[in-house]
Homo-oligomer: A and B are copies of this chain.
């Protein structure tokens, strides 16, 4: 066990997230330990980013069938580099002998007066945005090195989440795939949406490897990107343009009253929307609760 007391740096609510990543379930058993360390903390940082929280403290457990100093050193380097970059104080227990797994708990605070980002706040007329590019992680197995880095070493959008707390009406991180995760937001908000496929942000590398059509499919359905999808009332678009998000954002659709998720092709014709995407990561619980 690992336990600590912690005096939250800001008053009010705190954010807490737990991720348990198990080999062959959530990641490939042959993943480099440095990447595993990075990813285990990154997915938790992404959970906090989707709430608009400032990450503060983490507890980390790991097990390996045959732990070696070299493995542990690389794992610790991967997780430590990210913790340092985001100023997260981390208590890490020595690696134990057991099935390959990592369990990370992370706690954060909400600086300023804006409330936490919820999944339930999207309103008809809100514009749907997403950070960065989509589909890269899903394209990693068939693509080149840059895509693999997106899968193995995702970049949590912490600064964007913090800034969006006073701008966005809802947010979620894209770990199960854009359509699946947007579906969580729309159901929680009692709304629907239409996406414009031509507006999806695609990396040059993904288009080069798969062509634009398949890249669009990957962007709609692929998971593990850890970008933020969020909704913004039209009157706040100028505020969004001036915010320090640390990453580019793209407007990809609009929230509507009618339930369900629709998608239009470049020529305005309806195209099919992929069903939920079963990937390495685990399904979401319901709305993070207070």
Complex interface: chain B residues within 8 A of A94 (CB): 283
Chain B residue at smallest Cβ distance from A24: B98
Minimum CB–CB distance from A35 to chain B (whole Å) comes to 18
Q: Give the interface centre of A4, A48, A53, A94 by most chain B CB atoms within 10 Å.
A: A4
Complex interface: chain B residues within 8 A of A285 (CB): 1-3, 91, 93
Cross-chain contact B47 with A1 (CB below 8 angstroms): yes
CA A101 to CA B96, docked complex, whole Å: 14
Chain B residue at smallest Cβ distance from A21: B1
Cross-chain contact B20 with A103 (CB below 8 angstroms): yes
Minimum CB–CB distance from A243 to chain B (whole Å) comes to 22
Q: Is A264 an interface residue (CB 8 A)?
A: no
Cross-chain contact B1 with A16 (CB below 8 angstroms): no
CA A182 to CA B23, docked complex, whole Å: 36
Complex interface: chain B residues within 8 A of A114 (CB): none
Cross-chain contact A59 with B101 (CB below 8 angstroms): no
- With known contacts A93-B282, A99-B101, A101-B99, A175–B289 Cβ distance under 8 A: no
Chain B residue at smallest Cβ distance from A8: B14
The 8 closest A-B pairs by CB, nearest first: A3-B17, A18-B59, A20-B103, A4-B288, A25-B98, A3-B47, A99-B99, A105-B105
18 A-B pairs with CB atoms under 8 Å apart are A1-B19, A1-B44, A1-B175, A3-B288, A4-B15, A4-B289, A5-B13, A5-B16, A5-B290, A6-B16, A17-B59, A20-B63, A20-B101, A25-B96, A25-B97, A99-B101, A101-B101, A103-B103
